[in-house]
Structure formats: structure tokens, C-alpha cells
Homo-oligomer: A and B are copies of this chain.
């Protein structure tokens, strides 16, 4: 190992100044990568270093950062991912989303670990990156096109059907606040509105083609590790292999109350099996799709010809999408949900935020806060599947009520008034994902505290530590005792912090959660690729570092402990179903938040202390 340490790990970062149409390349040193790893570690580093406090998220001074992890582009299952980040137009704080597919790997093969996009192009442009060469190209003819057309036109124009494209549809162009960035047509960097930032810069797409495979510091060791990895892969991930994301869990989620129903209000969603991935596979499923180098192939593809036509090019609904457009909108028609998914991928809209925005509108309609006058004649009741589809179109076009819902539920509620705020299911402006915090109460704390608003990935799924298997799965984190799903004691907070810190590492490494590999194996793979004499312990510290950086960014942008809270709804029980008598205890919840601060080394206002910054080698943040 000693020799490798001296070699160092480096990577190229491409800077693109759209205002001045200039590009340049930087090459940070080994220590930079080891401290911040990749993905959102790189994103938050540059946002902290370079963004002026108070920057308009949709102004030219925001920076849109695409970042790979150190494993991206290697033939390692689960690593076909990249991050997209910027100051978020939804939260005004740290924005980032992870996305799968093939684009990140292609970027690495073209010679880059990250792209920092600054400024704003006068007219629409796209970037063309091929094996180290970068071109800023006119995209006026692409502007207004949906993602499927854009990808096709770029490939035709550049004469290469193997080009991979990260891009926005009309949703991003029109700066829908929760617009996403699409990798190809099926993979979305969904949350926190990164597509809106891309649109604000007049940047339609980044097309990439690369031919150079990266080399590991210790190729033999990597091969050996991957052998072990692949031999065990299929067995450990049976559910995802067979049914894609959501596995065989949607129906059980409904039975516990975890699956949100009618804008998180009710709890008795009938026959959830109708929306379960198992049913999708049996009825409308085609073959599945996967990310670069991954044999899991968790991505559903569906095809429906009538009565609704759903284009299989845009893939099928993930679990979150099934919940957001399905039960959350009181909708039981799987074809409608698949259509909604197709439209979101076409227009580059985040399916969670879109679905929750429509659920919000449906509840407002039911309460008379919105009427047919507002909706353009649509009877926007829960369960109106045609209405839902129409509203998605209106959002993408910013037409009528769609122009209000395009701002996200927080701003929409403010615009609508009349008490609509009560029905706006968000944290820090980001719509809440499809896991009920009255059921998973630790996740509720995680929603409240996540620097990117309500977030289900970098979070604790309470059911994972409510069972006897906890020692096997979380043992290496010292989480040894099962805790009830509704426990909010310091033990739950501790578990949330430990698990979340590892997930920050995961997001920086950009390994897919669905592979469930041991922390030790991830560590060893990282050692083999980078040559770092690193450890799971150091990687946990990296996760803590990134979490603390994200918190610091938000603090700097004016977010306070007041923003660490859930909508009032969650402190009351469901109207019906398994959680009809279960609410979150407000005192326990507040106590959990305060305990989280203290355990993280933050002060009572949730601001990281000087010594915590120093311990994490973030002393440079004191003067920013």
C-alpha cells in the first residue's frame, strides 16, 4: 500500500462560463478528492467556495455543477451515477440530486470528473464534450423540444447514436421550480429543481462521448473484489432484480400506512396490489433497463397502447412515482400513472414534486380553496386521472393553475392563500416523498433536517432497524438494538445520524443504494480504485464532513432552525387506516431535532461549532 499512497488520485474538472463562452480545465490534487470524494461533496465544496451569499438561484451567478464519484465510469455495478447540484430554486439553500444512467460514465470516459457551469448563454446552447474536447453549440433549434426529440436531434446532428445526453425539456426551460435534469429519457436528477437552474442558464443539454476507460490503482485487487461482488449480487437483490424499484414493497407499505394517500391525509388506500411493481411486471411490463455496468437492471419499462398510449421510450414509474401520482392523488389507474411518468420525463419534471403539487391542488379543490374557475374547468377531485394528466401539461406550459403549481407547493400556497398552506406538504419548499413520517418517525426527523428539504434517500428508513435483522445490517455502525418505527428517543436520532452520514458518503462515492453492499467492501473497492489507504471510518468522517458543509451552506443563505420542521398535518393522525390513531408527538419531535444538533456538534441554533468545523478539516469555512 505504501507505494500507492504516493501516486495520488486526480481528476479533471471542466469549467464552462456560458456568459463569456469560455471553457477551462482544472486538476485538483489527491487531497481534495480524498476529503470531498466526489458527487455532492464536490458540489457543496464549490458552492461554498465560489457562490456569493444571496445569489439568485435562477440568476446567471448560480453555478450548476455536474459531478461524478471516484468509481464512476469503472465497470462496477451500482456506480453508473452522477450528481447535479446548485443553489436550489425551491429552498434557497443547498440543492443536489443524484441520477443514474450512462451519462456520468460517458463523462468520465471523455476525461472529466465534474463540470461547473457558470453564467448564462445569450441564446440557447448545448455543450458537446468528446474525449477531452469541449464545444459550446447553438441550441435554438432544440429549445422547446421534449427530451426524446432533443436526444434524437443531437445524436443525428453529431452523427453518433452512442452519444449520451443530460438535458432538460420544456419544464426546465420554463424554470418550473422542481424541473429535473434528465440523463437520457429514463433517469432523472429529480429533486431540488436543478432543471430550472439549467433552464435559467439557457443550457439545453450536455452531450457526451468518451472512449477512454479509467485505470484503477490496483487492477488485480479490483478484479478480485468484483468477482466476489458479482457472485453475491443476484441473491442479495432479488426484489429489485425481478420487479425494479419498489420491489415487492408497495402493497406492504400500504398496509402499514407508509404509502401516502390523498395528500398524506387518509390511510385506507384499497387494493394497493394494483399499483405494486409485481402487478406492473405481470401486466404492462417489458424488459427492464439498467445503468452503466450494472447487472441489477432495476428500471421498469412499460408499454400501454390503449386506451391511453404510453411511450416505452420514457421508461416506467419508480416507487416514488407510483406513490406520488397514484395513492397520493387517490388514483388507482396504473395507465394514468405511467402516462404521468412519461410526461414528467418528457418535460423534465420531478415526479415527486409534480405529484405532490397536484395532490395539494386536489385537496385545495376539495376544500373549495380552488374551484373550476381556477382549474380551467377541471373537476380536480382526488382520483381524477384525466384531470391529473391535464394539470401536468398545464404545469409544463405554465398555463393557468399550472403556472402557480409550477412554483412548488410552498409558493403556490402563498399565492393561493385562503389557508392553502395547511395542505402544502413540503419541508424547506421541497415536496415530501412517499414515506409517511407518522409511520417512519425517524425519517420524519430526517425530512425536517435534510439540507435539501424533504428527502427520503439520505435518511433513515425506520422499518430497517425495527426488526431483529438490525445487527446484521447496521451492526457495523454499532446500531445493535431494534427500535420501534415511532421511537423518537436519542437512540433513534443516533441511528439517523450514523446512517445518514454513511449515505452522504455513498452519495459522494456515488454508489447506488439498491446494491446494499457492505461498507467494508465499498471501502476496499475505493482503495483499489484510488490507491487511498482509506477506511470505513475515514469515509464516515467524509460523510459527516459533507453533511456539515451542506448545513453550513444553508446557514449562510439564511436558513435557520425554524426551517427544520414538518407540516402541521403530521402532528395529527390519519383520518383512517392503520395510522388513524398515530401522530408525531411534537415535544418528542422537537427534542429529537435538538438532540440531532448537539450530537452533530452544532450549537442550539443548529449552526456547526468552530471546533466541529476544525475537526472535519473545514476550518476554511470559518472565514467564508
Q: Which A positions have Cβ atoms within 8 angstroms of B?
A: 1-2, 5, 31, 34, 469, 471-472, 475-478, 480-481, 490-491, 493-494, 497, 519-520, 532-538, 540-542, 595, 598-599, 601, 609-612, 614-615, 617, 619
A-B pairs with the 6 shortest C-beta distances?
A598-B611, A475-B533, A476-B535, A490-B614, A478-B538, A537-B537
User: Given A494-B614, A599-B611, are A476 and B5 neighbors across the interface (CB < 8 Å)?
Assistant: no
Docked-complex contact B535 and A520, CB < 8 angstroms? yes
CB distance from A35 to the nearest CB of B (A): 8
Query: How far is A5 from B611 in the complex, measured between Cα atoms in Å?
Result: 37
Partner of A471, one of B475, B494, B533: B533
Closest to A3 in B: B472
Docked-complex contact B595 and A614, CB < 8 angstroms? yes
Query: How far is A477 from B472 in the complex, measured between Cα atoms in Å?
Result: 25
Query: How far is A472 from B1 in the complex, measured between Cα atoms in Å?
Result: 7
Q: A535-B536, A537-B540 are in contact. List 13 more A-B contacts (CB 8 A).
A: A1-B472, A471-B533, A475-B533, A477-B538, A478-B534, A490-B615, A491-B614, A520-B535, A595-B614, A598-B609, A598-B611, A598-B612, A599-B612
13 contacts between A and B (CB under 8 A): A472-B533, A476-B535, A477-B537, A478-B538, A478-B542, A478-B617, A490-B619, A519-B537, A535-B537, A595-B611, A595-B614, A598-B610, A599-B614
- Tell me which residues across on chain B come within 8 A of A472, comparing CB atoms: 1-2, 5, 533
Query: How far is A481 from B31 in the complex, measured between Cα atoms in Å?
Result: 9
- Tell me which residues across on chain B come within 8 A of A491, comparing CB atoms: 614, 617
Question: In terms of DSSP, what is the predominant structure of the interface of chain A?
Answer: helix
Query: How far is A5 from B479 in the complex, measured between Cα atoms in Å?
Result: 13
Q: Which of A476, A493, A541, A619: most chain B CB closer than 10 A? A: A476
User: Given A537-B536, A537-B540, are A490 and B611 neighbors across the interface (CB < 8 Å)?
Assistant: yes
Query: How far is A542 from B536 in the complex, measured between Cα atoms in Å?
Result: 15
**Chain multiplicity (copies):** 2
Partner of A478, one of B5, B490, B541, B599: B541
Query: How far is A493 from B619 in the complex, measured between Cα atoms in Å?
Result: 13
Closest to A615 in B: B599
Docked-complex contact A476 and B598, CB < 8 angstroms? no
- Tell me which residues across on chain B come within 8 A of A610, comparing CB atoms: 598
Docked-complex contact B476 and A534, CB < 8 angstroms? yes
Closest to A468 in B: B6
CB distance from A234 to the nearest CB of B (A): 18
Partner of A615, one of B494, B538, B614, B619: B494
Query: How far is A469 from B6 in the complex, measured between Cα atoms in Å?
Result: 10
- Tell me which residues across on chain B come within 8 A of A490, comparing CB atoms: 611, 614-615, 619
- Tell me which residues across on chain B come within 8 A of A619, comparing CB atoms: 490
- Tell me which residues across on chain B come within 8 A of A542, comparing CB atoms: 478
CB distance from A90 to the nearest CB of B (A): 31
- Tell me which residues across on chain B come within 8 A of A519, comparing CB atoms: 535, 537
CB distance from A9 to the nearest CB of B (A): 12
Query: How far is A534 from B475 in the complex, measured between Cα atoms in Å?
Result: 6
Docked-complex contact B476 and A533, CB < 8 angstroms? yes
CB distance from A606 to the nearest CB of B (A): 13
Docked-complex contact A538 and B614, CB < 8 angstroms? no
- Tell me which residues across on chain B come within 8 A of A477, comparing CB atoms: 535, 537-538
Q: Which of A478, A520, A536: most chain B CB closer than 10 A? A: A478
Closest to A524 in B: B520
CB distance from A354 to the nearest CB of B (A): 38
Closest to A479 in B: B538
Q: Which of A31, A475, A481, A541: most chain B CB closer than 10 A? A: A475
- Tell me which residues across on chain B come within 8 A of A538, comparing CB atoms: 475-478
Closest to A535 in B: B476
CB distance from A325 to the nearest CB of B (A): 37
Closest to A594 in B: B611
Query: How far is A615 from B520 in the complex, measured between Cα atoms in Å?
Result: 23
- Tell me which residues across on chain B come within 8 A of A493, comparing CB atoms: 614
- Tell me which residues across on chain B come within 8 A of A475, comparing CB atoms: 5, 532-535, 538
Query: How far is A614 from B2 in the complex, measured between Cα atoms in Å?
Result: 38
CB distance from A358 to the nearest CB of B (A): 41
Query: How far is A536 from B539 in the complex, measured between Cα atoms in Å?
Result: 11
Query: How far is A609 from B598 in the complex, measured between Cα atoms in Å?
Result: 9
CB distance from A183 to the nearest CB of B (A): 32
Q: Which of A493, A534, A538, A609: most chain B CB closer than 10 A? A: A538
Docked-complex contact B615 and A476, CB < 8 angstroms? no
- Tell me which residues across on chain B come within 8 A of A536, comparing CB atoms: 535-537
Query: How far is A477 from B536 in the complex, measured between Cα atoms in Å?
Result: 9
Query: How far is A480 from B33 in the complex, measured between Cα atoms in Å?
Result: 12
CB distance from A615 to the nearest CB of B (A): 5
CB distance from A588 to the nearest CB of B (A): 14
Query: How far is A534 from B518 in the complex, measured between Cα atoms in Å?
Result: 11
Query: How far is A330 from B478 in the complex, measured between Cα atoms in Å?
Result: 50
Q: Which of A481, A493, A535: most chain B CB closer than 10 A? A: A535
Docked-complex contact A476 and B537, CB < 8 angstroms? yes
CB distance from A24 to the nearest CB of B (A): 27
Query: How far is A617 from B491 in the complex, measured between Cα atoms in Å?
Result: 8
Query: How far is A31 from B482 in the complex, measured between Cα atoms in Å?
Result: 13
Query: How far is A471 from B31 in the complex, measured between Cα atoms in Å?
Result: 11
CB distance from A8 to the nearest CB of B (A): 10
- Tell me which residues across on chain B come within 8 A of A598, comparing CB atoms: 609-612
Query: How far is A34 from B476 in the complex, measured between Cα atoms in Å?
Result: 11
CB distance from A471 to the nearest CB of B (A): 5
- Tell me which residues across on chain B come within 8 A of A478, comparing CB atoms: 534, 537-538, 541-542, 617
Query: How far is A532 from B71 in the complex, measured between Cα atoms in Å?
Result: 29
Query: How far is A603 from B58 in the complex, measured between Cα atoms in Å?
Result: 42
CB distance from A238 to the nearest CB of B (A): 15
Query: How far is A615 from B496 in the complex, measured between Cα atoms in Å?
Result: 11
